[in-house]
Amino acid sequence: MLGSLTPNPRRKQGFTFLELLVVLSILAVITAMIVPIYGASVSAMQRRSLRGDFVATIYYLQELSIQQSRELRLYVDDDEGTYWAEGWVSGLGDDKVFEALTDRKLGDVQPFPDSLKITRIQARKDRGRSQHYIAFYPSGGCDPAKIRFGELRGGKTTFSIETTGALGDVVVTP
């Protein structure tokens, strides 16, 4: 009996090739199930983050416009998928001159997430630049505008952000 408990000196310790293949196959199946779930959750987090950041930028520009007593604009480049803010510095009417804001890096070009695109935008258009913008006024009002965002794959509308104009309200539709 004691002889059966002693290890066989000819047998080597370790795993067989077949055992390793089975374990790797199980890991591959589990990974294949998790990757799509992870990708969808990352995309959903990016949508929520963009929605929150963009709405916060709109509210901040409304308040900043009142505080500085000047017109501010939020430009949206739907072709490039970016946005940035500028403030009025001189001129009147069609000869207004705007420059990038230095406050809180709002003048820097901010990209939308790669997984989202603007499917439709209804806003004023700067004739010189051919880009849409939302203007914010010292009275607290803003231009009426509506921006719809959709997924890059599939193109369905995921949410829209609308500014209602004179009262400066912002409506987010999921």
pLDDT at 70: 95
Whether 5 maps to a domain, the answer reads no
Amino acid identity of 130? Answer: S
Task: Give the structural domain span for 82.
Answer: 16-173
Amino acid identity of 61? Answer: L
Whether 113 maps to a domain, the answer reads yes
Whether 157 maps to a domain, the answer reads yes
The tally of domains found in the chain comes to 1
pTM strictly above 0.85: no
- Reported as a pLDDT band with limits 50, 70 and 90, residue 30 is very high
Whether 1 maps to a domain, the answer reads no
Q: Which residue has the higher pLDDT, 174 or 58?
A: 58
pLDDT at 56: 93
CATH classification of the domain holding 143: 3.55.40.10
pLDDT tens by residue, 107-157: 899 998 887 889 999 999 998 888 999 999 999 999 999 999 988 776 666
Whether 6 maps to a domain, the answer reads no
Quick check: 20 and 128 in contact, CB under 8 A? Answer: no
Whether 42 maps to a domain, the answer reads yes
Whether 2 maps to a domain, the answer reads no
